[in-house]
């Protein structure tokens, strides 16, 4: 366990631009809620404590992603990211070390990128680091302003930025590594003197620099990993990235896909080496497929167990069934649901 590391995940927002009755962090992505992907990656770090700040539909969120390793805190009013962090202070009162702050709607961030960021943070010897990326069209993201030595001087929200600052292509990802003592001292001093009347976590940089402390902007080479989900279009973009990442990982593990762009495999599925998957096949839920199996084309399999060397032929649908070793199913079979 990393005794000097805490993970703090901000997941209280409603997600108004999703235009949904479901809170944003519970929208599904490749078989799991957005927040579950963040938690899965964070668990690789084996932190001493993981705190999740919840707000909208708090009980539903807690029930969906519950785990013995999680501590939930309630942000009753959503007054900005700085206010969300302040809500977590009681849960981290006994912790001393680095707090890694993540967003519950940034599901593609890999454990390796987190580890690289934390390593660079330690090497910077600063009490505060921010993960940044460069985007050709930074849009509404907060801009990163560096000083003459390359240290982070401030982060400016796009809506508050000058034309010169808007021309900057390096943006804030919303991912921070902060010394716990500095973090909670700083958020206690935040002010809501901006257009949104919210407490910005980005202002912690100004407070740190005002005390004569340095802050690091650590540039990541993986901009697609920090894609935040704000609406259905961005959810579809993340789905495309994660689908490709998942399929190519399975192929490197020994699975054959005749056309990987035409195969959909949720992240909860398990596949053995020497499985062959033909185009237009969907593998969903807790499906498990054993070695030597051939599936497709045009098949859909949900929460099923497919034993060794089975053949699932053209157009077959299987839901919740176990297909025995060497069985042939289909074509155009329906198994397990009528």
Would you call 232 helix, strand, or coil by DSSP? helix
- List the Cα angle 124/127/131 in 5-degree steps: 65
Angle at 249 between CA 244 and CA 251, to 5 degrees: 95
The answer to whether 3 touches 94, Cβ cutoff 8 Å, is no
Separation of alpha carbons 38 and 33, rounded Å: 9
Distance CA 20, CA 60 (A): 15
What is the distance between the alpha carbons of residues 189 and 101, in angstroms, rounded to a whole number?
A: 18
β-strand pairing of 311-312 with 28-29: unpaired
| Joined tokens for residue 304 | 């099923």
How far is the C-alpha of 154 from the C-alpha of 182, rounded, in Å? 16
Distance of alpha carbon 150 from alpha carbon 156, whole angstroms:
16
Strand 170-179 to 128-134 pairing: antiparallel
Q: Any idea which residues carry the catalytic annotation? A: 17
Separation between Cα atoms, residue 295 and residue 279, nearest integer Å: 9
Q: Which residues contact 103 (CB under 8 A, 6 or more apart)?
A: 9, 10, 11, 38, 174, 175, 228
Q: Which whole-number Å values give the CA distances from 40 to 33, 51, 69, 111, 321, in the listed order? A: 11, 14, 12, 9, 27
Tokens 């770090």 belong to: 45
Helix (H, G, I), strand (E, B) or coil at 12: coil
Which of these, 299, 302, 285, lies nearest to 336 by C-alpha position?
A: 302
In whole angstroms, give the CA distance from residue 260 to residue 270: 16
């Amino acid at each position: 366990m990393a005794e000097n590391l805490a993970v703090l995940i901000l997941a209280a927002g409603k997600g108004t631009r999703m235009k949904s009755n479901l809170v944003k962090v519970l929208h599904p992505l490749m078989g799991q809620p957005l927040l579950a992907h963040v938690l899965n990656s964070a668990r690789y770090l084996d932190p001493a404590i993981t705190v999740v700040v919840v707000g909208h539909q708090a009980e539903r969120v807690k029930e969906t992603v519950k785990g013995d390793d999680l501590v939930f805190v309630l942000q009753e009013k959503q007054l900005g990211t700085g206010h969300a962090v302040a809500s977590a202070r009681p849960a981290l009162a006994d912790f001393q070390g680095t707090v890694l702050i993540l967003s519950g709607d940034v599901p593609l961030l890999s454990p390796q990128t987190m580890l690289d960021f934390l390593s660079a943070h330690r090497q910077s010897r600063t009490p505060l680091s921010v993960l940044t990326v460069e985007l050709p069209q930074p849009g509404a993201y907060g801009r990163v302003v560096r000083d003459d030595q390359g240290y982070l001087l401030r982060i400016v929200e796009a809506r508050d930025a000058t034309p010169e600052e808007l021309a900057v292509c390096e943006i804030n990802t919303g991912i921070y590594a902060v010394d716990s003592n500095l973090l909670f001292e700083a958020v206690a001093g935040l002010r809501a003197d901006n257009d949104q009347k919210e407490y910005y976590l980005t202002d912690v940089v100004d407070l740190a620099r005002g005390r004569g402390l340095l802050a690091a902007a650590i540039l990541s080479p993986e901009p697609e990993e920090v894609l935040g989900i704000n609406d259905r279009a961005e959810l579809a973009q993340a789905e495309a990235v994660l689908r490709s990442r998942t399929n190519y990982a399975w192929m490197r593990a020994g699975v054959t896909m005749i056309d990987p762009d035409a195969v959909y495999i949720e992240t909860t599925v398990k596949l053995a080496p020497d499985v062959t998957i033909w185009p237009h096949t969907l593998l969903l839920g807790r499906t498990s497929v054993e070695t030597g199996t051939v599936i497709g084309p045009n098949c859909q399999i949900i929460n099923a167990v497919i034993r060794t060397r089975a053949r699932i032929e053209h157009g077959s649908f299987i839901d919740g069934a176990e297909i025995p070793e060497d069985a042939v199913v289909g074509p155009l079979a329906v198994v397990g649901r009528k």
